[in-house]
Structure 1
Amino acid sequence: MLNWLVEPLSYEFIRNAIAVGIFTGILCPVVGTYLIVQRMALLGDVIAHAVLPGLAIAFAWGINILIGAFISGLFSTFVIAWIRTQSRVKVDAAMALTFSSFFALGIALITSLKSKLDLDNLLFGDILGVTIADAQRTAIITLIVLLLIKLFYKELLLYTFDKQGAQALGYPVNLLHFGLMAAITLTIVSSMQTVGVVLVISLLVGPGITAYLLVKELHQVMGLGAILGVIVTIGGVYASYYFNIPSGPAIVLLTFSLFFLALLFSPSQGILTRPEMAHRSTWIGRVLQFIKLGHK
């Protein structure tokens, strides 16, 4: 068993992948928790797909593709807000239209500019292909975002659960919104190589909603979600190494597996363990016992 765990660590690319996986596994659930409690999980998917035009343009212009991705993803949130404020269109429709339009534009630009970007890796991730520089960059982004969340936790907490109350108290609501969108976009950009733009929403939301079934407080959801995020990313690396499957899908499948177990067996909210199920099981047992006595 020990050899099974240690053997992959002899390779530098595995060590780099695990390092990136740890930082990504912590960052995504912490930031994604805000999307969950605001019921805006789809926004993460929109931003993830909206980075493609920025990637293509940045690559064609010879600048850092992560800068282009960040600008493009953040711009998509402004487009959604603009549509909402300038029309009667609801937010879900605005997000769906922006999602598909930015994604289509990105594919068109990558094709027309004859970009040599590896589309498969961008869409589905390749954590085994990260370098030490990628690990360092992810670590810096993670530390910066977590530090800002720590500093403005009280303000973000009130903004998340009571925007009108936050505005009445004089909090800079628009600035908090912009900061949160920037943090989400930065998280998605830093996670592209781990699970890809198509699957990143799973890492943003999956560990968080799993933790949501097990604990109650927001900070507890963030903490437990981060632990689960680290578990699934490292587990995905090992699954990719030993079973020769793509790393991104492996991480996502592990994420869903943990969620499904929590959905079934959560002490307070599990389908098979919640109080009403226990009462129903007792009632069924009594009925079966009565039937047996009747046969006697």
Structure 2
Amino acid sequence: MSEFLLYALWPFQFPFMTTAMLVAVLVAVPTALLSCFLVLKGWSLMGDAVSHAVLPGVVLAYLAGLPFGIGAFIAGMVCAISVGYLKENSRIKEDTVMGVVFAGLFGLGIVLITAFPTDVHLDHILFGNILGVTPDGLVQTAVIGVLVTVIIVLRWRDLMLFTFDPQQAGAIGLNTRLLHYGLLALLSLAIVAALSAVGIVLVVALLVAPGAIAFLLTRRFGVMLLLAATISTLCSLIGIYLSFFLDSAPAPTIVLLLTLVFITVFAATTRKPAVV
């Protein structure tokens, strides 16, 4: 029994594992909270668009000698604002605009990497390197993750009303434009926080799956937020733990767990609707 316990606790003897789990929690909570708004507002593709669009910002920030987070945030906001402008000034549907914008910006990022070779490994940008997060990266993730979480906790009722009924939100005096772009700014910040941990591609799962799972389990938005954050955190911690023994990459393992949970919950709730 003692040997089994020592074996089970083996991963916690390595500092990089405990750091990775801390980073995972700092990323899982804000992205899970945002996923609830994205799922209910039909903005799941927006998370995909913004996450891919930050690539040219990362490359340009590297070339300018600036922190990656600054470039990623600016690029994310450019993508979000561009989508809004094109949607309001054309007959093209929003999902089509998102696809065009994020594909174009992602392609620009690949071209920039090819034209200006850097010391930054592309795989780390696309898929993350949670086991190799630096102290500076940990601080950046912590600051942004806590900031996004606090803002959502303080303003979740306003954001909820804007998500369900923007007209009603405007009628009672809420600044819907501020809420719109504020939500997009929070999305961009959350992606910046997750950049070093799970990368551009896999952050999409963290911005969609927790909210989708919680949506199947409850009809109350407050409960949905709590469920999404709890599910995302547990899957992130368990995924990193299992990756140690499976000798697999942590980020894909986390995403696979979230997918399995979604399939399980979907199968269960199709027989019995959520009543929480």
Shorter-chain TM-score tier: over 0.9
1:197 is displaced (CA, Å) by 0.7
Does the 8 Å CA contact 1:16/1:131 hold for their aligned counterparts? no
Does the 8 Å CA contact 1:159/1:173 hold for their aligned counterparts? yes
Q: Is the counterpart of residue 178 in structure 1 residue 218 in structure 2?
A: no
Question: Which residues of 2 match residues 231-250 of structure 1 at below 5 A?
Answer: 231-250=234-253
Name the structure 2 match of 1:278: none
1:178 is displaced (CA, Å) by 1.0
Aligned match for 1:263, one of 266, 270, 274: 266
Does the 8 Å CA contact 1:194/1:247 hold for their aligned counterparts? no
Name the structure 1 match of 2:197: 194
Aligned match for 1:45, one of 43, 48, 53: 48
Query: Unmatched 5+ residue regions in structure 2?
Result: none
Aligned match for 2:105, one of 102, 107, 110: 102
**Cα deviations by residue, 1:181-200 (Å, 9 ceiling, x for unpaired):** 00011111111222211111
Alpha-carbon distance in 2 for matches of 1:202, 1:229: 10
Question: Which residues of 2 match residues 88-237 of structure 1 at below 5 A?
Answer: 88-237=91-240
Query: Unmatched 5+ residue regions in structure 1?
Result: 276-296
Moved over 2 A (4+): 1-5, 131-137
**Which shows bigger deviation, 7-16 or 135-144?**
135-144
Number of residue pairs matched? 270
Identical residues among aligned pairs (%): 35
Q: Is the counterpart of residue 84 in structure 1 residue 82 in structure 2?
A: no
What amino acid is the match of 2:12?
A: L
What amino acid is the match of 2:54?
A: V
RMSD: 1.3
Structure showing greater Rg: 1
Alpha-carbon distance in 1 for matches of 2:101, 2:209: 23
**Cα deviations by residue, 1:171-221 (Å, 9 ceiling, x for unpaired):** 111111111000011111111222211111111111111111112211111
Q: Is the counterpart of residue 65 in structure 1 residue 68 in structure 2?
A: yes
Aligned match for 1:274, one of 252, 272, 275: 272
